[in-house]
Structure 1
Amino acid sequence: MNAKLVLTGALLALGLCAWVALGHGEDKKDKPIPAPEFAGITDWVNAKAMTVADQNGKVLVLHFWTNGCINCVHNYPHYVAWQDKYKGEKSFVMVGVHTPEFDAEKDVDRIKERAKKNKLTFAIAVDNDAKTWAAWGNRYWPCVYVVDKAGNVRHKWEGELGDAGYKQVTGQIDELLKEAAPKAK
């Protein structure tokens, strides 16, 4: 038997095993992933303290960002567009989790100034100790999560949105807003 063929087959089998083990290839729509709770929030900007659980019955768009990240800055127009589009929608809430990469980004006055300058009026959870970042298992700035009315993470977008990402996530938000809220237990 040809050694290259055997090696290729073995590598393909190994790759498939890794792909399945990492959770790819599964239909995650049937497996709700509960949204983690905020953890260790050191301050709130534009809002009073809240919990993720308090948002049940609403579509929650939660995004991780930091004010020193150019990729995050490139997403600001999309965040403002969502603020405007869903302004009167009582079943929608957006929270920016500000998790600093560098110590200078921990300054709450700087966060407030940047939010005001860029018309970011959504609730901002200041995650200076990266505890919410860790609770969500987040890895990138920026990263957008969309949580359904039952409190389950349904969509995730890592990196800049760009026009295509904005349209895709907006479509996901619109679809989730159409879903019925879960019945109270």
Structure 2
Amino acid sequence: MRDKETAEIAVQAALVGRLLLSTLHTNDSTGSIPRLLDIGVEPYLLSSSLTLVVAQRLVRRTCKNCRESVTPSARVLESIQSRPDFSETIAVLQRQGVLRKAHDGLAGVRLYKGNGCAQCQGSGFIGRVGLFEIFEVDEEIRDLIMQRKPASFIRSTAIMKGMKTMFQDGLAKAFLGETTIEEVFRVAL
């Protein structure tokens, strides 16, 4: 969706109860709100018609045939631990069962890398896996849209309400060996 006319048609379809799926170029899920407002959708129409936004980025999938567990470097651990949402990220990963509650932050975690083999043609990767961020628009978010609150405020509200960020999804997939931490840093920071 790139222009006002298309956005207006989409909003009208959503308002009469049709399920509408569309693409929109933004950096994250909550970035869809200012993008649609910038296109020219009125806040009252946007808040009434938007129910869910899914942001995705594809990363290379670690080859299961040649992947091996590695200890994260101090630099990688620092990059993760220095994030302002580090505590929330640890809590999310513990709720998902990716990290045990007994872990002290990231102590003892393992990451994975592909060494390269015939199956992956020496790259260490086969295929792709999606990193996702799912933003549910509830009554509180609708009110924030109506008030034209900044995207950063809407994002922090969504996170407080339990939205898992794309980085958190990527970190979980890196800890589970589905991708590498470098792939996550490349697309989700």
TM-score normalised by L of structure 2: 0.25
